[in-house]
A = this chain, B = another copy of it.
Amino acid sequence: MNHTVPAAKWLREYSLGTLQRDLLAAVVVTIMLIPQSLAYALLAGVPAEVGLYASIAPLMVYALFGSSRTLSVGPVAVASLMSATALSQVAAQNTADYLLAATLLALLSGLFLLLLGVLRLGFLANFLSHPVISGFITASGILIAFSQLKHLTGVTAQGDSLPELILSMLAGAESTNPYSLLLGAAVIIFLIWSRGAAVRFLQYFSLSENTAAMLVKAAPIIGVIATILIASGWDLEGKGVKLVGAIPSGLPPLVWPSFTLELIQQLLMPAIMISIIGYVESISVGKTLAARRRQKIDMNRELIGLGAANMASGFSGGFPVTGGFSRSVVNFDAGAETQMASVFTAFGIALAAMFLTPFLYYLPKATLAATIIVAVLSLVDFSILKKTWHYAPRDFVAVLTTIVVTLLFGVEAGVSCGVLASIVLFLYRTSRPHIAEVGLVEGTEHFRNIQRHQVHTLPQILSIRMDESLMFSNAAFLEDRMYAHIAGTPAVRHVILVCSAVNEIDWSALETLESINARLRAAGVYFHLSEVKGPVMDALSRSGFVQRLSGEIFFTQYQAFTTLSETLGSGPPAQWENR
């Protein structure tokens, strides 16, 4: 790892061609990001301009420190939902306290990510298994879609979980505003059409597939412009349709936050969860895109990039940000080659914040809600349930737990239970490992499970293969199974424990081996090990177990079996008797 910022490298190689491609990508992403940043601000429960603020400084800071060249940082759906959940626990929406808490949440997330990056703890994210993440994203998508129904219908509703959201919507169903609902439904239909049929429609007008695909990315902004015109032309505000309203013009303020210790305590856990989920989401899209161009993502540097971006968001009046999936893909497909594209995008959003806000007064909230609903529906994918059901029941249980808990109890409980379920199920499996009696495959030097293969065995030699590291969670299980095997085979004179799958023997297991050794010796049976790996052998030698073992440690199981077979007639070698 060299110690300059990643940007230094690509800036040295920067050319006019790269500039042109980055600029084009920036235009496409800016057009996509304006409605997204407003919508995700709505989702997070902060004023619309906060969404714009979170799309300026963070992009520039990530461009400098991040290791992905094409990741598009900014507000994203899941992190915005998680922010809303966390913030609504400490303050009421549309208050100064809520806004202050939002910036603190971004700062805490940033600090935590920086800490992980500096301590090189990026590997921690690996404890979120893929199925748990998939399940969590799917359930979050559903929650987000339901949370937006209130803006679509104009009903006042609240809730962090599916039952709360549904009950609260039903309770207020009478106050549904028909204009708002109609407008929102129209935007949803338009956006869905633009994702599917629109590309073919545009190709009909002799546009190339690429150009057509790029043009349909403008569909959300077309929806925004069209509904602004409709809302101002037909005075929808007078008909009770909720609009975005007055947004202050200008660049983000520089915030020097002052907080109470209590608020920090309340927001710390949510900040950690938002950071980890955001990081995992970001690193997975970053890795995918980097792989396509044979570039490399450094996990710890990525943590520093995202941490710095969140710090920048906090200091400029924003809320938690991360690398967005769909936006990054658009950025990449539009030809972005370096993070300069993000810098240009930030300029675009800054211009919008300075000059476009007066026009946004008439933007119906239903339009933004429709944008969010269409965006998150693509996150919902239940196929992971079917796939894991067939492949690995353990993973299936983890996914199902994550999805059900997220929907019923909200995002924080969901992701905690998912991680917990993965770890507990894993520990459960290691506590009941697969243990097989093995025999020689005739004509080879290989040993296989006697129940799966036609193998050669001898009644005096019992070969047991343990398919797991020997450790505290399975030491007692191994002991019980060994004795059960031996009890059933009274002719046994030698027991060989085949350690080809044993990657570690911890202290608890070592004590168990000592006790098996002592007990077998008392019964006149020799205890041997075979196929012990280098690091395990080093540890056993250090412990003195090798000297106390009644039998031998053989390099290979084949050697163990043939050597012991030969001694059966003549009795054990003299050197064993001394032990």
Contacts and interface: CB of A to CB of B under 8 A. Distances in A.
A501 B504 contact: no
Interface stretch (A221-229, A249-257, A374-382, A466-474): A466-474
Contacts of A429: 504
A237 interface: no
Interface in A520-554: 533-535, 539, 542-543
Interface stretch (A149-157, A266-274, A314-322, A443-451): A443-451
Contacts of A501: 500-503, 533
B539 A127 contact: no
Contact of A387 (B427, B507, B556): B507
Nearest to A471: B426
A484 to B, nearest CB: 10
- State the oligomeric state as a number of copies: 2
Given A131-B508, A468-B503, A543-B390, A476 B126 contact: yes
Give chain A's interface residue range (CB within 8 Å of chain B): 35 or more
A313 B394 CA distance: 40
B395 A126 contact: no
A433 interface: yes
Interface string A92-133: 000000000000000000000000000000010011111110
A181 to B, nearest CB: 40
A420 to B, nearest CB: 11
Given A501-B503, A510-B391, A511-B130, A519 B449 contact: no
Top 7 closest pairs, chain A to chain B, by CB: A129-B472, A130-B508, A395-B507, A467-B503, A129-B508, A391-B543, A445-B445
10 contacts: A126-B474, A127-B473, A129-B507, A130-B511, A131-B507, A391-B542, A422-B472, A423-B427, A434-B535, A468-B503
Given A129-B507, A449-B534, 15 more contacts: A126-B431, A130-B508, A131-B507, A390-B543, A391-B507, A395-B506, A422-B472, A433-B503, A444-B445, A444-B556, A446-B556, A467-B533, A468-B503, A501-B503, A501-B533
